[in-house]
Structure 1
Amino acid sequence: MHNQNNEILKHLHELLQTNEDSIKGYKDAADHLKEGELSTIFYRFSQQRALFKEELKKCIRELGGDESEHTDFSHEVHRLWMDFKSGLNGSDTEKIIEDCKNADKQAAKSYEKALKADPPAYVKEIIANQHRMIKGAEVQLDEFKKHPEGR
């Protein structure tokens, strides 16, 4: 059980980092666009990820881990958000949406790995719910891209 707990804590720390990156990434996107509905959507996603981060910290504490412990993850989500930030100035709205979707697709993969680690039921429910909302963000961005003027 202890080993499994360590494995689950490792995944939770990765999700924590994923959400920290997403908070910054979506906030940067919102700030870059400055106004309009898409900026509001990005800001809301940033706030959503901040809530996810707090839920994950609570799970880590409840499993006996230390949420302030930072493992250095060289994961794809971080790289995608960093590439996104460096390319923001020359990016058009469609590229920004695409980059955000790509980062969320990678985030969803991290969530899927965490779910496969078979965490306790209450943790699994939180992770599954966050995963659903991340997938929902992707759908919302697709819809916005298809009908930007109809909003």
Structure 2
Amino acid sequence: MENGKTIDVLNNLLQIINDRIEGFKDVNVEMIESHSNLKEEYDCMVQNSYKMRTELSSLIEERGGDLKNTTTFAGGLHRAWIDVKNSFTFDKSESTLQNVIFGEDAAVKAYEKALGSGDLCAESSKIVQDQLQELKSSYHKFVGMEEEL
């Protein structure tokens, strides 16, 4: 496997995690505060996102790569769409959970694609696999919360 391809894949995942962080910043604060079980989960997921970003950044730098410490164009469009949609939505809690679930699902798919690419070295694959498990867990927690509403 080529080092440049590994760096590209890791940078793509870094951008996905940056999208996740930005998306969590846009989560409706009243919705978080109105669900006591959600506040702790939300705070944990935000902290995990920062940890994931640090891990990916370290892997990229260890391989001599330049960090693409930005968000994706698609993620920016999605956040803009959410803002527009939320301005017309009555039930902010349900809409927010649906948006988080959509974002978590997109992240899971991106991670699965990265792992399936064959472009990651063993160390990178291990960290990406561990992060994928965290993303899947987050996704399932939010799906469960949506079902409770």
Q: Which of 46, 67, 82 pairs up with 1:84? A: 82
CA deviations on 1:45-83 (whole Å, 9 max, x unpaired) are 12211110000000101111122x4578434x4433342
- The answer to whether the Cα contact below 8 Å between 2:59 and 2:124 also exists between their aligned partners in 1 is yes
The residue type equivalent to 1:87 in the other structure is K
Greater RCO (CA < 8 Å, at least 6 residues apart): 2
* Distance (Å, rounded) in 2 between the aligned partners of 1:90 and 1:11: 37
Give the structure-2-normalised TM-score: 0.82
* Distance (Å, rounded) in 1 between the aligned partners of 2:55 and 2:105: 20
TM-aligned CA deviation for residue 98 of structure 1:
0.9
Structure 2: runs of 5 or more not aligned: none
Look up the SS of the partner of 1:142 in the other structure. helix
State the identity %: 24
Q: Indicate whether 1:64 and 2:64 are aligned.
A: yes
- The answer to whether the Cα contact below 8 Å between 1:94 and 1:145 also exists between their aligned partners in 2 is yes
Structure 1's 133 and 78: CA in aligned 2 closer, same or farther, altered over 3 A? farther
Aligned residue number for residue 18 of structure 1: 16
* Distance (Å, rounded) in 2 between the aligned partners of 1:130 and 1:102: 17
Structure 1: runs of 5 or more not aligned: none
Structure 1's 53 and 80: CA in aligned 2 closer, same or farther, altered over 3 A? same
Aligned residue number for residue 114 of structure 2: 114
Structure 1's 115 and 144: CA in aligned 2 closer, same or farther, altered over 3 A? same
- The answer to whether the Cα contact below 8 Å between 1:33 and 1:39 also exists between their aligned partners in 2 is no
Query: Hey, which bits of structure 1, 4+ residues long, moved more than 2 A?
Result: 30-34, 36-44, 69-75, 77-91
* Distance (Å, rounded) in 1 between the aligned partners of 2:46 and 2:129: 19
Once superposed, what is the RMSD of the aligned Cα atoms? 2.3
- The answer to whether the Cα contact below 8 Å between 1:7 and 1:117 also exists between their aligned partners in 2 is no
Give the structure-1-normalised TM-score: 0.81
Structure 1's 39 and 78: CA in aligned 2 closer, same or farther, altered over 3 A? farther
CA deviations on 1:93-144 (whole Å, 9 max, x unpaired) are 1111111111111111211121123211111011011111111111101111
- The answer to whether the Cα contact below 8 Å between 2:17 and 2:53 also exists between their aligned partners in 1 is yes
TM-aligned CA deviation for residue 11 of structure 1:
1.4
Q: State which drifts further: 55-64 or 91-100.
A: 91-100
